[in-house]
Amino acid sequence: LLALLCLLCLAACHRPNRTEQLLGSRQAAAEQQMNELAECMVRHTDIDSVQLVASRTDGVYFFFFHNNRLIYWSDNSLNIDGVRLPAGTDWQSVSFRNATGVVKQRNIGALNMVAAIPIAWTPIDSQSFADSYSYRPIQEDEARERNFWRRAYLRTRIFYLITILLLLAGLIVLIVNLVRARRFHNLSLPYKITTLLWGVLLLGFIYIFAMSVLYLDRHYTRRQQQILQQKTQYIRYALQQSDYQDLDSDSSQVAILQEELQRLAQIYRTDIHIYDATGFLLASSTPQLFEQGLLTPYIATDIRLTGSRTHEPAEDQVRTELINDKPYLTAYTPFMNRNGQTGGMIEVPAFLSKDRMAQERDKYILRLMPAYLIAMLLSLLLSFYCARLLTKPLMRLKRSMQQYRLGETPPLIEYAYKDEIGLLVQQYNALLQQVSEASARIAQAEKESAWRTMARQVAHEINNTLTPMKLTLQQLQRTKNTERFDAYFEKSTAILIEQIDNLSHIATAFSTIAKMPVVKSETVDIAQKLTNVIALHEHNEQHIPIRYIGPNNGIYARTDNEQILQVFTNIIRNALQALENRPDGDIIVRLNEIDEHVQVAISDNGEGIAPEVRDKIFTPNFTTKAYGTGMGLVIAKHIVQSSGGTISFQTSGSGTTFLLTLPKAQQEG
């Protein structure tokens, strides 16, 4: 680890400084631009032709001298006034009035071109602006910024934090639902509508808030510019109403003008600088700023009054300038002489405090944010309510479809509006009526067909019974008055009684089918019903164990609350009868939930159902036992199918399993 740290330190030492890299790139750009300027100066004789070329490189300042007199400067931020420039054409270090940097000179005919690159600005002493109105807020602003978070800043950030937490909570809820649904298209319709509505509203709020903050900053700046322009016009009017109709560089006149500027500065509480027609400082209310080198004694390039055909001065101009690396506003207005011509420029600077701007912005945000938060919460609730309102008829359609059973009275949905959902509800109700009518016709046809089939079967069974009874009676008639009559009479009466009992069984079975109960669909706890039936049969005569695999309660299905017991009892009794005389008999009952259904499996380990009778298991009056009517499984199938479920069986030589499926009940919390 120590060796690695040493290597990193060595790499850091050998790595070029970012300042050196920036200086190198600026030097290369300055040399290329000096070549362009030299070519431009060869083609053109006036200095104005090179202004655009000289002002397009950031961080590089160009100065042109003629006979050691400064005649052009590309920017007025770097103060080279009175600085002795070193001789030579290579880059050399120089200490300017307000910075340190490097310079490079090049002679172009009678002109001396100097390219200067500041490396570090001279720190401003806290007492430098003590007597200034315009620049004093620079120091005060820095002091206020260090403690600003203790005031409105903290409250504003609390609102920001609350807003971010709300957005994060909404985003987490959306992500959780997306993870559960795996895709956005799999989300429920209310969630889709809520997400889309709130997303659009949220984007609208963010846009309005961002535009509001941007407008506040621009409005504050624009208002300060307007105030500065008005103040500048007042000062110009005050000067022109005095005796200074012509700007004169005479020292005595300058001293008097300077006293007048100091008087006006106290009245308007601002610094005032006046430049002559050549762009050099003539007088100032705070001359010490220029004497200390904090400000340059030449005007900004695009405010020059003479020697420029491309940048004519406007009536009033407000621009941003730099003192060291700190921006400030300054307003220029022309000073008109007695002849109505521009004799100079009046400059009134003003530092645009970031602290005051932030205070203005945060004051507005403190009033705006609570309304925004309330609007966001209301929009979320409103979007959720609208989504529920729009999808409520669809949810009713879903529940109605789930609960509807053939043969029942169709539950029509009432919807008073004639929108798209209303048309869907109307079509659903019409279709439901058609299905109900069709199902009634089908049920009636099935009932009639079943009765015809049953009548044929009963007639067949009765004929099968009456035939031997007829033959027996005929034989009995033939043996009348013979010696065999008494013996045959006893035998015949026994046969007739047996056949009459068979007819009674047939009549009973037919009566059972005729009285087939109507199934009432309702919510039933299948787990509880199963455990009750198993508890009733677990102490059977054969001592056959009945094992149950599943919960004891809490599994709900749609079926008849009473008749489902008859189904479970019948199947378990059949299983017990199939395991008679088997010491290893075992019955297993399983309860599972599969998708939208509840499945019950009742298994035994008997010999199974013979292949030749498997197709007749659910046939009326069919039974493999010596007793019974053969109607138990028929009734069980009727109850299960009327509940909307299915019943089937799987059998082999190692046992039989009856499978029952019932529709799962929709539990509403």
Question: What count of other Cβ atoms lies within 10 Å of the Cβ of residue 392?
Answer: 13
Average pLDDT over residues 359-382: 75
Among residues 54, 53, 57, 50, which one has the least CA distance to residue 22?
A: 57
Do the beta carbons of residue 244 and residue 396 sit within 8 Å? no
Angle (deg, nearest 10), helices 189-240 and 152-181:
150
Mean of pLDDT over the chain: 77
pLDDT surpassing 50 at residue 451:
yes
Phi first, then psi: give them for residue 333, nearest 5 degrees: -140, 140
pLDDT surpassing 50 at residue 322:
yes
What is the CB-side half-sphere exposure of residue 29 using CA atoms within 13 A?
18
Please tell me the distance from the alpha carbon of residue 98 to that of residue 79, in angstroms, as a whole number: 6
Q: Which residue has the higher pLDDT, 425 or 356?
A: 425
Average pLDDT over residues 156-168: 72
Indicate the helix (H) or strand (E) that contains 430: helix 420-478
If you average pLDDT over each of 2-11, 329-338, 449-458, 660-669, which comes out highest? 329-338
Identity of the residue numbered 521:
S
If you average pLDDT over each of 13-22, 142-151, 265-274, 498-507, which comes out highest? 265-274
Model pLDDT, residue 591: 92
Identity of the residue numbered 282:
L
* DSSP-derived secondary structure letter, 56: S
Who's near 313: CB < 8 A, 6+ residues apart?
A: 303, 304, 305, 332, 334, 342, 345
Strands 587-594 and 546-549: parallel
Model pLDDT, residue 148: 47
Triad 458, 459, 461: Cα angle to 5°? 65
Q: 85-138, pLDDT tens digit by residue? A: 887 778 999 999 889 999 998 887 778 888 899 988 888 776 777 778 888 776
Q: Which residue has the higher pLDDT, 178 or 333?
A: 333
Model pLDDT, residue 307: 41
Q: Which residue has the higher pLDDT, 580 or 304?
A: 580
* DSSP-derived secondary structure letter, 608: -
Q: 472-488, pLDDT tens digit by residue? A: 777 778 887 777 777 77
Q: Which residue has the higher pLDDT, 193 or 272?
A: 272
Who's near 265: CB < 8 A, 6+ residues apart?
A: 133, 271, 272, 285, 286
Ranges 4-13, 200-209, 224-233, 657-666: which has the least confidence: 4-13
pLDDT surpassing 50 at residue 275:
yes
Do the beta carbons of residue 571 and residue 587 sit within 8 Å? no
Q: 581-590, pLDDT tens digit by residue? A: 788 889 999 9
Please tell me the distance from the alpha carbon of residue 358 to that of residue 364, in angstroms, as a whole number: 10
If you average pLDDT over each of 216-220, 618-622, 637-641, which comes out highest? 637-641
Please tell me the distance from the alpha carbon of residue 524 to that of residue 567, in angstroms, as a whole number: 14
pLDDT surpassing 90 at residue 24:
no
Integer angstrom CA distances of residue 213 from 74, 78, 141, 221, 367: 35, 34, 21, 13, 12
Length of the chain: 669
Please tell me the distance from the alpha carbon of residue 206 to that of residue 183, in angstroms, as a whole number: 26
Do the beta carbons of residue 232 and residue 331 sit within 8 Å? yes
Identity of the residue numbered 45:
T
Tokens of 391: 């999808």
Please tell me the distance from the alpha carbon of residue 605 to that of residue 607, in angstroms, as a whole number: 7
Please tell me the distance from the alpha carbon of residue 629 to that of residue 622, in angstroms, as a whole number: 7
Model pLDDT, residue 661: 92
Radius of gyration of the chain (CA): 53
| pLDDT band at residue 1 under the 50/70/90 scheme | very low
Q: What is the secondary structure of 536-600 as a DSSP string?
A: HHTT-TT---EEEES-SS--EEEE-TTHHHHHHHHHHHHHHHHTTT-TT--EEEEEEEETTEEEE
| pLDDT band at residue 464 under the 50/70/90 scheme | low
Q: Exposed (0-12), middle (13-18) or buried (19+): which is 574, by Cβ within 10 Å? A: buried
Model pLDDT, residue 106: 86
Integer angstrom CA distances of residue 539 from 401, 536, 576, 584, 632: 43, 7, 11, 16, 22
Indicate the helix (H) or strand (E) that contains 230: helix 189-240
pLDDT surpassing 80 at residue 369:
no
Strands 556-559 and 522-525: antiparallel
Please tell me the distance from the alpha carbon of residue 300 to that of residue 314, in angstroms, as a whole number: 13
pLDDT surpassing 50 at residue 308:
no
Model pLDDT, residue 68: 83
Identity of the residue numbered 278:
T
| pLDDT band at residue 662 under the 50/70/90 scheme | very high
Distance of CA 656 to the CA centre of its chain: 55
* DSSP-derived secondary structure letter, 427: H
Tokens of 537: 């049969």
The pTM score is: 0.50
Q: Which residue has the higher pLDDT, 473 or 657?
A: 657
Model pLDDT, residue 222: 84
Do the beta carbons of residue 193 and residue 386 sit within 8 Å? yes
* DSSP-derived secondary structure letter, 150: G
Model pLDDT, residue 313: 46
Model pLDDT, residue 149: 45
